[in-house]
A and B are shown apart, each in its own frame.
Chain A
Amino acid sequence: MWTTIVRSLLRGARTEKAPPADHSALAELAAKVDTAARARLGRSLSIRQVDAGSCNGCELEIHALGNPYYDLERFGLKFVASPRHADVLLVTGPVTHNMAEALHRAWRATPDPKWVVAAGDCACSGGVFAGSYACIGPVANAIPVDVHIKGCPPTPTQLLEGLLALLQHASKR
């Protein structure tokens, strides 16, 4: 057992290195997110994720942001349990009627200034569930949205790109 743990410790971090800028898209993006996050928020942006009817594909990729390759927390972006602790609501899904009230309540519980990110095709447009009797449709039909991240589901890289866009948007406010 100890051999396994020690070997893991000695192997070094799996986290993908930040720049040089001509490196992979992820590395380039990571650097931008880092600078913007520090400038605007001093290394602290708390995100409350709300699944408003997703098929759970988006949740898998949002989860992946926390794995050692992407290690989202190194940018000071972290997921929190309560909307009261959050700066950002990261909403997925075609907003089902059955989740609409919970989404509204989470949004009202989030203190200002707050931002809403609609992540995934369903949250952006209703996706394949557009027009269903059970769905309100895009998140923008339920609460004001600041940034859209497309993809079915968006990859961790696309999610990072979206969060960067949010940070730039937030700085302009």
Chain B
Amino acid sequence: MTDLIEFLHDCPIVSRHRPWPRIEVDAAKWRMLVGRLASEEWELLGLWGEPNAVHVAFHDPQPGTFAIVSRACPGGGFASLSADRPGALRLERAARDLFGLIPEGLTDARPWLDHGRWPMRRPLAAAPEPRSLDEPAARATDYPFLPVGGPVADQGGLHQIPVGPIHAGIIEPGHFRFHANGETVVRLEQRLGYVHKGTEKLMAGRSVADAALLAGRVSGDSTVAHALAFARAAEAALDVAIPPRAHYLRAVMAELERIANHLGDFGAICNDAAFAFIMAEASILREDVLRACHTNFGHRLMMDRVIPGGVLVDIFDPGVEGLRRLVGRIGTRVLELARVYDSKPSLLDRTIGTGTVARNLVQRFAAGGYVGRASGRAFDARRAPGYAPYDDLEFDVPMLDEGDVHARVWIRIREIGESVKLVEQCLDRLPGGPIAVPVPAAGGEGVALVEGFRGDILTWVKLAADGTIQRCHPRDPSWLQWPLLETAVDGNIVADFPLCNKSFNCSYSGHDL
């Protein structure tokens, strides 16, 4: 095991990049790095492009360090990391679509986010290539899904089930292609990108305050967490320290968001096994939380409440006691519902042993959140790298090893309890003072890792000298979780797919950007 920073010691560190080092490597060192990945435990947390450059974020679990490695690639080419870090595969395909970068050695030549329908190719490259709108748009059937081989397939024993992009429920769009042998799923392949909105390009050239609105809409269910990751990255770039009260208010909002989403998921998973009672009860609690958010912060989802420099609004003081009572009640009620869940054999029959993800896979993909923690990967950004105010608060990070739907349900149940404790602690210790500081218009680079309800969000910001965004990349946790859903479903029956999918609850919008 080599220390990542030690391995990179002979390479220049970029100045004005905070808080982790960003290290520039040349082509030879990049190749050495790729060669070392098979034997090292460095986790790939993200990979993103810039015109003529590629960046990759690593976490070295042994000393617990984080670093960004950058490689200038004027010709566009760079050695692919995907052979040993499969989480990089879709990220590299996205960088190829958006920037025209060429991941050398990447075996999958298919586009990912680009469905052949934008008015330009390589929209984020220095010089995008216009695409005539008269060109016939690529048909959905033009995308070659991976073939399935083997004796059963050869005898025509498999059938395909195409699902989406529009799904049956009130959910986001994406395409799932099942190969099934009777009821059993032989392979699931996802095709995403349908809700690609060009968020990253829209951010470029905007002020930090303007771009924060877009960060808050990367994935609506994680609006607080994404806004927080963006704000922390911008504050790191500008070396801005925010008031202590703002840290605590941000944590209150982030934990309320986590509680609301976990409640929604707990109910929805049970509902997918036709147990509507818990869904109804959990949705009552969820609505109570959203109403409390509206009372205390003026918006049910708390959109645009976390801003660079602090928070937009202070907590509505007369509402604090009500909020304290509410989270206490939720803590008790969720345990009652968990007892109901645990005592229903017909429900447990659907969740136990269903959609299992192996521990070595969550580690290889560095999958975060409940997906990682239900399969033995304890990573939680609130612990490491850690950030205010969590370093002053007490909480557990629940972890299980089973890796099935049941484990992901129980991680959520226990995390609701921890979030309740965190909200209570924040309210008890809420410091006085201002809630925001002005953010200067200046240059710099910053990165932040923030724990959303779904997992760790990595946001990287590069500010031009006038303080506008030159490049911002928000990496939603879904990037590293979606691929694992494909393996989780293997060998399960088609009818259990909704349960598996809901237990992951990956974001389409957060992934497609």
Contact = CB atoms under 8 A, between A and B. Distances in A.
A106 B166 contact: yes
Contacts of A55: 197, 217-220, 223, 509
A51 to B, nearest CB: 5
A171 interface: no
B337 A4 contact: yes
Given A51-B171, A132-B202, 5 more contacts: A57-B221, A57-B223, A58-B220, A94-B197, A129-B202
28 contacts: A1-B340, A1-B343, A4-B337, A5-B340, A50-B166, A50-B173, A55-B218, A55-B223, A56-B219, A56-B507, A56-B509, A62-B170, A63-B264, A64-B290, A67-B283, A68-B284, A96-B197, A98-B195, A98-B196, A99-B165, A101-B137, A102-B173, A127-B217, A129-B197, A131-B202, A132-B199, A135-B198, A155-B300
Contact of A129 (B173, B194, B198, B221): B198
A14 B283 CA distance: 11
Contacts of A67: 280, 283-284, 286-287
A59 B172 contact: yes
A49 B170 contact: yes
A96 B220 contact: no
Q: How large is the interface on A (under 10, 10 to 19, 20 to 34, 35 or more residues)?
A: 35 or more
A128 B169 contact: no
Contact of B281 (A8, A53, A79, A82): A8
A37 B218 CA distance: 36
Contacts of A131: 202
B192 to A, nearest CB: 10
Given A69-B287, A96-B196, A57 B301 contact: yes
Interface string A40-62: 00000000011111111111111
A98 B221 contact: no
Contacts of A102: 165-166, 173, 194
Interface residues of B, number: 55
Interface string B135-170: 001001000000000000000000000000110111
Contact of A96 (B195, B280, B284, B287): B195
Given A5-B340, A99-B173, A60 B221 contact: yes
A159 to B, nearest CB: 12
A133 B340 contact: no
A40 B160 CA distance: 42
A97 interface: yes
Given A67-B287, A98-B115, A133 B221 contact: no
A29 interface: no
Interface string A81-95: 110000000000110
A133 B193 CA distance: 14
Contacts, number: 147
Q: Is the interface of A mostly helix, strand, loop or mixed?
A: mixed
Given A97-B118, A135-B197, A56 B220 contact: yes
B213 interface: yes
A79 B118 contact: no
Contacts of B202: 128-129, 131-132
Interface in B247-305: 264, 277, 280-281, 283-284, 286-287, 290, 300-301, 303
Nearest to A106: B166
A35 to B, nearest CB: 25
Contact of B195 (A53, A57, A68, A106): A53
Contacts of B303: 57, 152
Given A55-B509, A102-B194, A5 B213 contact: no
Interface of A: 1, 4-5, 8, 14, 49-64, 66-69, 79, 81-82, 93-94, 96-102, 106, 127-129, 131-135, 152-153, 155
B237 to A, nearest CB: 22
Nearest to B344: A1
Interface string B223-236: 10000000000000
Contacts of B383: none
Contacts of B9: none
Contacts of B300: 61, 155
B385 interface: no
A60 B301 contact: yes
Contacts of B172: 51, 54, 56, 59
B508 interface: yes
Interface string B119-144: 11001000010000000010010000
Nearest to B513: A134
Contacts of B218: 55
B290 A51 contact: no
B171 A59 contact: yes
A66 B283 contact: yes
Interface string B333-344: 000110110011
A96 B193 CA distance: 10
A81 B168 contact: yes
Nearest to B210: A128
Nearest to B304: A152
B14 to A, nearest CB: 29
A131 B201 CA distance: 11
B33 to A, nearest CB: 32
A4 B340 CA distance: 7
B194 A68 contact: no
B325 interface: no
A135 B196 CA distance: 8
Nearest to B291: A69
